[in-house]
């Protein structure tokens, strides 16, 4: 049997089973139809349904920006198990098209594979790692954490050192230490030992945090930004295949790279997808916990999926925005508006493609983004899957042409 918590890439991929994490989705709400239960594959938790198994595997996979190999393997295996054609662009984004999906407007549905992380910058003579950030990690999230260093001989667990209170002057005990003062400890006593572990400058580093089922249908884990979006795409595709739904458009399911360091994967992915319309799926910014409020964000766990009306990278196409709210109302799915700044997402690159395309960003509300552990709620996830399916079944040629038109 595969280990319960695999610590090498080979062990991790073996734990996925022969090809895929799961083949069908089930739901805890009325949003989705309930398929027959499936026996868990090797390495899976029999207490989780297929959707939760997928969320666990995606969350626990290590994939900082430009080091998305393990996440890419899951996504590609999932879509191949559905009979999809899979190809890759020059930065490693995954493009999948389900069988029979060859006519009508081209709809790009996208989520990104990478998570915020670190990179090895320097190995000290006494065996510590100095690092640089990959993406927007807060200084408060750096010390006293466990990390996975993606070395050439396999993953290595590291600990970010914490200066003990016993020796710190009182004036320094509440300081947020900058990344320049952060160091990772892999248990080595010298630079040579670190090198022998297969670690070298330029290696990626991901947070290490196990998936956890919490009360009230909530899941804790790392990298919900944006593994939750990937899971929405995959579960929607599973349902479309299982239920034999024929869509009026050509849907290109795209899992992008390097979103956290400047939407880089989306810039190349959109050229290969050539969309007429784009739907980005992201982790939303939940504002239902202390120290954050409605002037910063508006989503809440349990309130359904969200739709961004403004972020730092994009104002969505207003007709497409209204279409989402109309479909949600018709389908009985609560949809939360969110207006915020300080957030960029792949929909912006779809919007700027060629002469411009309608684009929107749908979200699953998430607490504690860009930390080691975030929290989502299953009912919000299931609502996002159902809304995506309902939208895709209505995006025919005339509808897309109307949404894209600015004629008075």
DSSP 220-253: EES-HHHHHHHHHHHHHHHHHHHTTPPPSSEEEE
> What's the pLDDT score for residue 99?
94
Run of H or E residues at 301: none
**Which residues partner with 205 through β-bridges?**
118, 149
* CA 30/CA 15 separation, integer angstroms: 31
* Cα–Cα distance list, 281 to 83, 187, 289, 307 (Å): 22, 39, 23, 9
For residue 25, the model assigns a pLDDT of 34
Main-chain dihedrals φ then ψ at residue 339, nearest 5 degrees = -120, 120
**Do residues 289 and 329 lie in contact, with contact meaning Cβ atoms separated by under 8 Å?**
no
pLDDT under 50 in the chain at which residues? Answer: 1-40
Q: Tell me, what's the pLDDT at 171?
A: 78
Closest CA to 206 of 370, 3, 76: 370
Q: Which residues pair with 212 in a beta bridge?
A: 220
Question: In the 8-state DSSP scheme, what is residue 259?
Answer: G
> What is the structure's pLDDT at 43?
56
> What residues does each domain of the chain span?
11-115+222-404, 117-207
Pick the CATH number of 117-207 from 3.20.20.450, 2.40.160.60, 2.40.30.40, 3.30.70.2390: 2.40.30.40
DSSP state string for 324-355: HHHHHHHHT---EEEE-SS---THHHHHTSTT
Using the CB atoms, write b or e for 43-69: b if 16+ within 10 Å: bbeeebbbbbbbbbbbbbbbbbbbbbb
Q: What is the pLDDT of residue 41?
A: 53
CA-CA-CA-CA torsion sign (295, 296, 299, 305): positive
Task: Please name the residue that has the structure tokens 């993953």.
Answer: 155
Q: What is the DSSP letter of 41?
A: P
Q: What pLDDT does 4 receive?
A: 37
The span from the CA of 395 to the CA of 170, in Å, is 61
CATH code at 11-115+222-404: 3.40.630.10
DSSP string, 351-388: HTSTT---EEEEEEEEBSTTSS-EEEEHHHHHHHHHHH
| pLDDT one-digit tens code per residue, 282-339 | 999 999 989 887 888 889 999 999 999 998 889 999 999 999 999 999 999 999 999 9
Q: Looking at the annotation, which residues are catalytic?
A: 259
Could you give the maximum distance between any two Cα atoms of the chain, in Å? 71
Beta-carbon count within 10 A of 406 CB:
7
């Amino acid at each position: 049997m595969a280990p319960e918590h695999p610590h090498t890439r080979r062990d991790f991929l073996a734990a996925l089973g022969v090809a895929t994490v799961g083949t069908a989705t089930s739901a805890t709400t009325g949003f989705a139809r309930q398929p027959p239960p499936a026996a868990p594959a090797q390495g899976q938790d029999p207490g989780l349904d297929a959707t939760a198994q997928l969320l666990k595997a995606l969350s626990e996979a290590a994939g900082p920006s430009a080091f998305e190999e393990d996440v890419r393997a899951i996504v590609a295996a999932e879509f191949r198990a559905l009979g999809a054609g899979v190809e890759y662009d020059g930065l490693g984004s995954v493009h999948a098209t389900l069988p029979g999906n060859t006519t009508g407007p081209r709809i790009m549905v996208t989520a990104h594979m990478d998570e915020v992380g670190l990179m090895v910058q320097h190995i000290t003579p006494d065996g510590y790692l100095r690092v640089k950030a990959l993406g927007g990690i807060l200084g408060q999230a750096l010390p006293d954490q466990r990390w996975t260093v993606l070395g050439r001989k396999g993953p290595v667990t590291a600990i970010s050192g914490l200066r003990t209170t016993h020796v710190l002057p009182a004036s320094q005990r509440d300081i947020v230490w900058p990344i320049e003062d952060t160091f990772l400890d892999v248990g080595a006593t010298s630079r040579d030992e670190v090198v022998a572990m297969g670690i070298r400058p330029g290696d990626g580093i991901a947070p290490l945090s196990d998936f956890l089922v919490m009360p009230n249908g909530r899941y804790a884990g790392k990298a919900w930004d944006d593994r939750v979006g990937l899971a929405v795409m995959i579960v929607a595709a599973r349902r479309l295949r299982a239920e034999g739904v024929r869509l009026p458009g050509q849907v290109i399911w795209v899992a992008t790279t390097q979103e956290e360091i400047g939407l880089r994967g989306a810039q190349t992915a959109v050229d290969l997808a050539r969309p007429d319309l784009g739907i980005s799926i992201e982790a939303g910014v939940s504002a239902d916990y202390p120290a954050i409020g409605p002037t910063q964000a508006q989503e809440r766990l349990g309130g359904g999926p969200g739709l961004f009306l403004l972020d730092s990278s994009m104002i969505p196409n207003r007709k497409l925005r209204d279409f989402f709210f109309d479909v949600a109302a018709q389908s009985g799915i609560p949809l939360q508006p969110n207006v915020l700044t300080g957030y960029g997402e792949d929909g912006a690159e779809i919007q700027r493609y060629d002469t411009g395309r309608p684009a929107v960003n749908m979200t699953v509300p998430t607490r504690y983004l860009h930390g080691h552990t975030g929290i989502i709620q299953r009912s919000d996830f299931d609502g996002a899957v159902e809304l995506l399916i309902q939208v895709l079944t209505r995006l025919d040629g005339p509808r897309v042409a109307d949404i894209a038109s600015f004629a008075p």
